[in-house]
A = this chain, B = another copy of it.
Amino acid sequence: MRTERGRRGAMAAERKVTITAIAREAGVSVPTVSRVVNGRSDVAPETRAKVEELLRQYGYRRRTHAPGDRAALLDLVFNDLDSPWAVEIIRGVEEVAHSSGIGTVVSAIHDRAGAARQWMTNLRARASDGVILVTSVLEPLLHNELHRLGVPIVVVDPAGAPALSAPTVGATNWAGGLAATEHLIQLGHRRIGFIAGPPRLLCSRARLDGYRAALESAGLPLDEELEVPGDFYHESGFHGCRQLMRLTDPPTAVFAASDQMAMGAIEALRQRGLRVPQDISVVGFDDLPEMRWSAPPLTTVRQPLAEMGKVAARTVLRQARGEEIDSPRVELATELVVRASTAAPAR
């Protein structure tokens, strides 16, 4: 095996392995090799065997695509692949794409211009049929290039002002923020802390506004002290919560704009010797699968991540086919999932 692989490598280097080269070597015509490569049935078993053997030895790879069977591909682009978040979206996109015979190319561009450039070049080479950008703030330059290429784009969880005229698929972040806060109010909480997401993201703003709206419509005062910054990651939830608990009049409930921050908040509370939910309630946002099993199971706002991926995939595929799209701006419903991290306030 080792040697064979080595041999193949050497051969591949010597000359370009084309269907023509294989045909010559096998002593058959080019069309015959073509048939074998395409798995057609009308080839004599011995011929097929001989050609297949050669194909394998030389490490033959098709160099052009048959007209029509163009590589059916869809690009799914994340900034980072570092959250349990990502896999949910991948799952949704993959499911839809796969069943349409389309491959899902997953990339992470890490907000670095170089990586984005490189990705763009790759995209061009692989002639992707569509692009799904997740929370991505691709530079306008690349956006324009994409547009020029005529590749359909859809943006999932749009980060800021809608890029170009690309359709977007999001979640009802505002409604989710509202529902979470109303839930706490209903339980009897009057002072509710909020740990925010990165302010540059649209979804962060929406969740914050939902929180405020719930407070206001319940006739509760907005207290700036109760709104602390965060970045969606665990650590910032931990510190945000500590900041809230140091207040002279600390909240009896905390709404964190992400599950990971909620977990950080719970950790901070535990270190202070406070029990959740007996002493203080905590609500998260996302409903990552693990939250069902956290201790205590987390009350949170469910984002239909996989569903968002599916809708995005369907939308980009329809665009690729030149079909009309129903609506350029979709927001899928969030849903409050009440579990065990919330209760009526202590007193």
Size range of the interface on A? Answer: 35 or more
Task: Flag if A107 contacts B98 (CB, 8 Å).
Answer: yes
Q: Which residue of B lies closest to A114 (CB)?
A: B99
Within the complex, which residue of B81, B84, B322 is in contact with A10, where a contact is CB–CB below 8 Å? B322
Task: Flag if A98 contacts B119 (CB, 8 Å).
Answer: yes
Within the complex, which residue of B12, B72, B290 is in contact with A125, where a contact is CB–CB below 8 Å? B72
User: For residue A94, which residues in chain B have a CB less than 8 angstroms away from its CB?
Assistant: 81, 106-108
Within the complex, which residue of B64, B119, B121, B129 is in contact with A61, where a contact is CB–CB below 8 Å? B129
Q: Which residue of B lies closest to A7 (CB)?
A: B322
User: For residue A67, which residues in chain B have a CB less than 8 angstroms away from its CB?
Assistant: 63-64
User: For residue A12, which residues in chain B have a CB less than 8 angstroms away from its CB?
Assistant: 322
| Protomer copies | 2
Q: Given A81-B91, A101-B118, A147-B56, answer yes or no on A295-B293 (Cβ-Cβ < 8 Å).
A: no
Most chain B CB within 10 A, of A6, A263, A264, A290, is at A290
Q: Which residue of B lies closest to A319 (CB)?
A: B5
User: For residue A71, which residues in chain B have a CB less than 8 angstroms away from its CB?
Assistant: 71, 73, 125-127
Within 8 A of B (CB), among A59-108: 59-65, 67, 69-73, 75, 81-84, 86-87, 90-91, 94-95, 98-99, 101-108
Within the complex, which residue of B1, B72, B108, B127 is in contact with A91, where a contact is CB–CB below 8 Å? B108
Within the complex, which residue of B13, B86, B122, B293 is in contact with A72, where a contact is CB–CB below 8 Å? B122
User: For residue A95, which residues in chain B have a CB less than 8 angstroms away from its CB?
Assistant: 108
Task: Flag if A84 contacts B84 (CB, 8 Å).
Answer: yes
Check if A2 is an interface residue, CB within 8 A of chain B. yes
Smallest CB separation, A130 vs chain B (Å): 10
Ranked 9 nearest A-B pairs via Cβ: A9-B322, A64-B64, A71-B126, A103-B105, A87-B87, A81-B91, A56-B150, A1-B165, A62-B127
A–B complex contacts, Cβ < 8 Å, 15 sampled: A1-B328, A2-B324, A9-B321, A10-B322, A56-B147, A63-B67, A73-B73, A75-B103, A83-B87, A87-B87, A94-B108, A103-B126, A105-B105, A267-B295, A295-B295
